[in-house]
Amino acid sequence: MYKDSFLTRRRAVKLGFGMLAGAVGAVTTSKAIDLNNQIQALDNPNRKFPVNGKLSLKERATAKGLIYGAAIQYSQLSLDREIATNVKRECGMLIPEWELKWFVGKQPLRPSPYTFDFRAADWMANFAKTHGLLLRGHTLVWHESLPPWFEKTVNNQNAKRFLEEHIKTVVQHYAGKIHSWDVVNEAINLSDGRSDGLRKTPWLKFLGSDYIELAFRLAAEADPQALLVYNDFGLDYDTSKDEAKRNAVLKLLERLKTKGTPIHALGIQAHLTANEAKFSPSKLRQFLRDVASLGLKILITEMDVVDKKLPVDIKVRDRIVAGVYEDYLSVVLDERAVIAVLTWGLSDRYTWLSHFQPRRDRAAVRPLPLDANFRRKLAWNAIARAFDQAPRR
């Protein structure tokens, strides 16, 4: 799934620059020189990212009728005062990174087929309420983070009951407190070979392709106030793979809208890759326009920038990563249907990419707006500049 897309991109990059930088007495090869040229092309030493004033990302987003937020884990937010302080300062929205999935971490939401454990998510919902943050739910229906009991328990006969009970119970529990739900996550996977592009998940197997519409209808019934979102990744670049996925997602959204499904927005995860040069502003703009023309809003839901193929030098890496943030957001925020920019984490101290996309030279990855000591990086400047330059909603 999301790792596959990075694997594909890795094939596009012949030799990890990080390997080269880390190796002593590395022998330069034409490949490395080629990659070095690519990196040089990505880096502009004269690009400075100046920012006016001291406003936070939350304040700059709010000034334009936008929302900025971040995904954080309960264990981080409840135990690390520094992340809590910075979330309060920088974020207008909080997304529990684990706590509203079926089964992640030490206190999973679904410990057994017959129980729900809301303690961690309730703590985060209370944190959000106490500090005036909006709360976003991620995610009701996904093929990942399923409980260990799922495979031996859920089947053709009872899958609909499990889906109905999960969505009704969880969405009703937070009814009126949630800005938006990722109702269905990552349901498109073209490499599964279906003509409709749907990923072969247990939900598809047991319920057929109507499971997506059913999930949205159940969520709408349980909380008519929540914005209901379809969320996916791999929609960003001018590659044949991303273009095909954009088309498949658009067709899914059109099918859902034609059936009168209560779907309100598309979530674009935007897990970007710093050394991916194939970025077409015009193609991305067209996709956003096509989605908006269905009457849907758009949220950038999980933004971060993988820096594993960049030089180890922090100044160069941070400048390239910041350029990716600003170049992408300057396109995206031109589309007025875009209502939120959410990063998947706030500080490099806590990023899933440390495990999912580590650097070969083992240097700490730097994908997010704040560094591991919560200092604002050029990526922070880039996001701030994008908000400052965005048209008001």
- Interface contacts to ligand XIL, rule CB under 6 A: 2, 97, 185, 269, 302, 352
Least separation, in Å, of the C-beta of 108 and ligand XIL? 12
> Which residue in 90, 186, 326, 335 is the catalytic one?
186
Q: Which residue from 188, 183, 332, 185 is spatially nearest to 247, judged by alpha carbons?
A: 188
H-type alpha helices, the chain: 2-12, 17-22, 30-42, 57-63, 74-79, 81-90, 119-130, 150-153, 159-173, 202-207, 211-222, 240-258, 281-292, 314-332, 353-356, 378-389
- CB of 302 or CB of 326, closer to ligand XIL: 302
- CB of 233 or CB of 387, closer to ligand XIL: 233
User: Is there a catalytic annotation at residue 82?
Assistant: no
Q: Which residue from 109, 104, 106 is spatially nearest to 119, judged by alpha carbons?
A: 109
Helix axes 211-222, 240-258, angle to 10 degrees: 60
- CB of 325 or CB of 352, closer to ligand XIL: 352
Least separation, in Å, of the C-beta of 7 and ligand XIL? 14
Spell 94-115 as b/e; 16+ CB within 10 A means b. Answer: bbbbbbbbbbbeebbbbeeeee
Least separation, in Å, of the C-beta of 97 and ligand XIL? 5
Least separation, in Å, of the C-beta of 102 and ligand XIL? 11
| Token pair 């279906």 in the structure block, residue | 194
Chain residue whose CB lies nearest ligand XIL: 352
Q: Which residue from 328, 320, 379 is spatially nearest to 90, judged by alpha carbons?
A: 379
> Which residue in 99, 276, 302, 335 is the catalytic one?
302
User: Is there a catalytic annotation at residue 97?
Assistant: no
Given its phi and psi angles, is residue 295 left (phi above 0), alpha (psi -120 to 50 degrees) or beta? Answer: left
- CB of 80 or CB of 97, closer to ligand XIL: 97
- CB of 43 or CB of 302, closer to ligand XIL: 302
> How many distinct helices (H) and strands (E) make up the chain?
16, 9
Least separation, in Å, of the C-beta of 167 and ligand XIL? 17
> What are the catalytic residues?
186, 302
